Amino acid sequence: MKCKRRYDIVVVGAGPVGSYTAYLLAQKSFKVGIVEKKDGVGDGVLCTGVIGTKAFDRFDLPGESVVTKIDSAVFFSPSGQKLLYEPNEVFACVVDRDVFDQRLLRKAVESGVDAFFRHRVSDIEYNGSYCSVKTRGSVYHARAVVVATGVDYCLHDRLGFGRPDGFLYGSQVDLSVPSLPSRVEVHIGQDFAPGSFGWIVPFRNGSSRIGVIVQKEGKVWLRNLIAKRVGKIPPVQACDIRVKPIACGPVKRSSKDRVLVVGEAAGQVKTTTGGGIYYGLLCAEIAADCIEKNLRSGCRLDDYEVAWRSALAAELDIGRNLRSLALKLSDQDIERLFTFAKQNRFWVELLIPRIDFDYHSDVIFYCMKSFSHLLQLNH
Ligand SMILES: Cc1cc2nc3c(=O)[nH]c(=O)nc-3n(C[C@H](O)[C@H](O)[C@H](O)COP(=O)(O)OP(=O)(O)OC[C@H]3O[C@@H](n4cnc5c(N)ncnc54)[C@H](O)[C@@H]3O)c2cc1C
């Protein structure tokens, strides 16, 4: 006999996006349940945890999860030329994802959300008036369901949401490597991140998070990056490196019957950097708003699909175009672009105001216009 529970909304997945959606809905006085397949949240999440400071201004996020504040970034070309971005203010934070995820869920629970662990949702059915969310031992009845399952797309296949257009792989290891406590390093080069980039991000107690985001063989490329850019440290074993897929592009559909898909589950991830927290939280707000309007005044739940795509689809497309272009660039091409930027103060002065931590299309357009001309001239 299955245990039955009734809610206005059931959220599937207690990652940051699921917990934040549940929190927003509880704040709107709905009865909300959140169902998570793991024992708890935030234990050993694989993520660098870099979030722009604007996210902390815009969303109600746990400040106590911040480990480091970032006020500069240095970009390294394949040969080691450097470009320094130093805006004289903190523009990003590095959070401890374990603490971040746990605190977000706690906020949701303190707002009245019921949380259920070790419950893997295996199916969601809509019978014309309510949804049944099914786990092995329970059924949850809800007027609307939010799927926030991250890169677990098993439910998508059953429900017809499709999968993201593509995937990248994020590989990362924590090492005791001295780095400036408030500066991130971005390393570009075909030898360790073909068509993409690697990073060294300060974490706590003198350790750094070192990673690459690539199309395949992340462990191999990350070891190359460490060998070339970190230097003399004890050899890093492949088993110390962790790898996880990152959605690169949206799912085909993110709203059907009374079910909405939010966060990485919907492919709401920056296609440039693989960062998923800001876009996921933004879409959590959009989803909570649409659900409220639907349940209180009968507005269409499908408006969610239109609203989030209007906000983000162009950014996601442009990032993917940049990735295709970057795969075609040789290390020599990249050197030329670095040299050009270093030698053209006026070009940089026009670039700087276009930089935004969360929206990259403006910078990409500016660079593409300048560089397509530059690269044509040189080929
Ligand atoms: C190496 C690496 C570095 C990254 N660095 C950054 C970064 O610096 N900044 C940034 O913004 N992003 C970064 N990301 C991406 C970021 O981690 C994700 O985009 C983010 O975690 C997505 O949040 P989410 O809540 O959508 O999904 P998740 O955090 O994946 O949470 C999904 C939850 O759903 C649960 N779940 C799944 N299926 C079911 C089911 N059927 N039933 C019940 N529960 C289920 C899971 O157990 C999980 O708890 C990085 C990713 C990687 C791999």
Question: Which phi and psi angles does 169 have, rounded to 5°?
Answer: -125, 125
Residue 117 lies in a domain: yes
What would the DSSP string read from start to end of 130-142?
-EEEE-SSEEEEE
Closest CA to 160 of 193, 125, 184, 194: 125
Identify whether residues 267 and 293 lie together within a single domain.
yes
Identify whether residues 297 and 359 lie together within a single domain.
no
User: Is the distance from CB of 185 to CB of 74 less than 8 angstroms?
Assistant: yes
CATH number at residue 256: 3.50.50.60
Identify whether residues 172 and 238 lie together within a single domain.
yes
Residue 129 lies in a domain: yes
Residue 328 lies in a domain: yes
Q: Is residue 281 in contact with ligand 1, taking CB distance under 6 Å? A: no
Q: Is residue 148 in contact with ligand 1, taking CB distance under 6 Å? A: yes
Identify whether residues 194 and 340 lie together within a single domain.
no
Residue 146 lies in a domain: yes
Domain final residue, candidates 225, 246, 267:
246
Identify whether residues 222 and 301 lie together within a single domain.
no
Residue 49 lies in a domain: no
Question: Which phi and psi angles does 272 have, rounded to 5°?
Answer: -80, -55
Identify whether residues 146 and 283 lie together within a single domain.
yes
Question: Which phi and psi angles does 41 have, rounded to 5°?
Answer: -120, 155
pLDDT at 231: 75
Print the domain residue range for 183.
Answer: 68-93+166-246
pLDDT at 1: 58
pLDDT at 378: 53
| Residue 338 Cα to ligand 1 middle (Å) | 33
pLDDT at 42: 84
Q: Is residue 242 in contact with ligand 1, taking CB distance under 6 Å? A: no
- The SS3 assignment for 149 reads coil
Identify whether residues 204 and 239 lie together within a single domain.
yes
| 82-85/50-52 β-pairing | unpaired
| Residue 82 Cα to ligand 1 middle (Å) | 32
User: Is the distance from CB of 131 to CB of 145 less than 8 angstroms?
Assistant: yes
Residue 341, CA atoms < 13 Å, CB-side half-sphere? 22
Q: What does pLDDT average to in each consecutive run of 10 residues of the chain (379 residues)?
A: 86 98 98 97 93 97 97 96 95 97 98 97 96 95 98 94 95 88 94 93 91 92 90 73 96 96 98 98 98 95 97 96 91 93 94 96 91 67
Identify whether residues 156 and 271 lie together within a single domain.
yes
Please state the atom number of ligand 1 nearest to the C-alpha of residue 278. Answer: 11
Residue 265 lies in a domain: yes
pLDDT at 240: 87
Question: Which phi and psi angles does 94 have, rounded to 5°?
Answer: -105, 125
Residue 176 lies in a domain: yes
Give the number of other Cβ atoms within 10 Å of residue 101's Cβ. 24
Identify whether residues 170 and 240 lie together within a single domain.
yes
Identify whether residues 110 and 149 lie together within a single domain.
yes
Please state the atom number of ligand 1 nearest to the C-alpha of residue 35. Answer: 43
Residue 172 lies in a domain: yes
pLDDT at 6: 96
Identify whether residues 40 and 130 lie together within a single domain.
yes
Identify whether residues 170 and 294 lie together within a single domain.
no
**Number of domains observed in the structure of the chain:** 3
| Residue 151 Cα to ligand 1 middle (Å) | 7
| 183-187/72-76 β-pairing | parallel
Residue 27, CA atoms < 13 Å, CB-side half-sphere? 12
Domain final residue, candidates 246, 261, 282:
246
| Residue 246 Cα to ligand 1 middle (Å) | 9
User: Is the distance from CB of 170 to CB of 176 less than 8 angstroms?
Assistant: no
Domain final residue, candidates 295, 319, 343:
319
